[in-house]
Chain A
Amino acid sequence: MKQRRDVFQAIADPTRRAIITLVALQAMTPSAIAEEFDSSRQTISKHIQILTECKLLEQEHKGRKIYYHLNPMKVKEIADFIEPFRNLWDNRFNKLEAIMKNYKTDK
């Protein structure tokens, strides 16, 4: 019987987090992913399997090759993936506001 997997189990492992980082920007084949690590291909395959079982990674067939890409809907279950983008701008704007408040009092 297949073990039940959840996203939190998936991200508990540093290698799996590194795999997520790799495929976050582009779809990759299992061998391209494995090349980025010192671990054996079997070890990486196992990690990919776990990430796929919890639906963080999705398979895409292109010709004879299988590509894996990140499933953003599932990523939202961990934390809304837009949140870091929002934080980036929020921090910039907070800084802008603080600087201009001082600018006002300097005058």
Chain B
Amino acid sequence: MEPKTKIHAEDGKQEILITREFDLPLELLFKAYVEPEIVEQWMGTKVLKLENKKHGSWQFETTDPKGNKYGFNGVIHEFFPNRKITRTFEMENTSFPVQLEFLDFESLTAATSKLTMHMVFRSVADRDAMLKLPFSQGINMAHNRLQEVVSQLK
């Protein structure tokens, strides 16, 4: 089966394109991006602030299983209900520079919709680092699991 979420990241370009089709009407898909309690559920984060308007700002805080807190924030530049959100995204206390995100929402049928997320980074190296982040965390997790198994053998 073809994966529902597609990532397009050309070599040497400082952008990522994420596309996804949903079995949801456009209004419900858009609602999942603007209602703080719904965002909290699917993003697995705490929403401290989410001002859905031009020049509004947003602030999320995520806690990992060890209790470490990570902050994310940004500013909303464009907000057109059921159509478009343009915003910045910044990971606090990291070396990652702020990135720009264009979110386009479109209706496919009465019951299906599509999201196109265009992320623009300061440099190609920054984009590659962001792409590699879950990869290196994955290796870490595999490594930790291995250590757990080894420690149980002792």
Contact = CB atoms under 8 A, between A and B. Distances in A.
| A and B part of one assembly | yes
B5 A81 contact: no
A63 interface: no
A20 interface: yes
Categorize the interface residue count of chain A.
Answer: 20 to 34
A103 B3 CA distance: 24
A85 interface: yes
Given A92-B42, A93-B4, A93-B5, A85 B131 contact: yes
A99 B115 CA distance: 16
A25 interface: yes
Interface string B34-65: 00001001111000000000000000000000
A82 B42 contact: no
Interface of B is mostly: helix
A65 interface: no
Nearest to B128: A72
A94 B5 CA distance: 9
B7 A100 contact: no
A93 B22 contact: yes
A85 to B, nearest CB: 5
Nearest to A98: B42
Contacts of A93: 4-5, 20, 22, 42, 115
B134 A85 contact: yes
A22 B147 CA distance: 17
15 contacts: A17-B143, A21-B140, A25-B129, A70-B132, A81-B132, A82-B7, A85-B7, A85-B132, A92-B43, A94-B4, A97-B22, A97-B24, A100-B22, A101-B24, A103-B31
- The 5 A-B pairs with the shortest beta carbon distances in the complex, nearest first, are A24-B136, A84-B134, A90-B5, A96-B42, A95-B42
Interface of A: 14, 17-18, 20-21, 24-25, 70, 72, 75, 81-90, 92-97, 99-101, 103-104
Given A72-B128, A86-B7, 11 more contacts: A14-B143, A17-B143, A18-B143, A21-B139, A81-B131, A83-B135, A85-B7, A93-B20, A96-B29, A97-B22, A99-B41
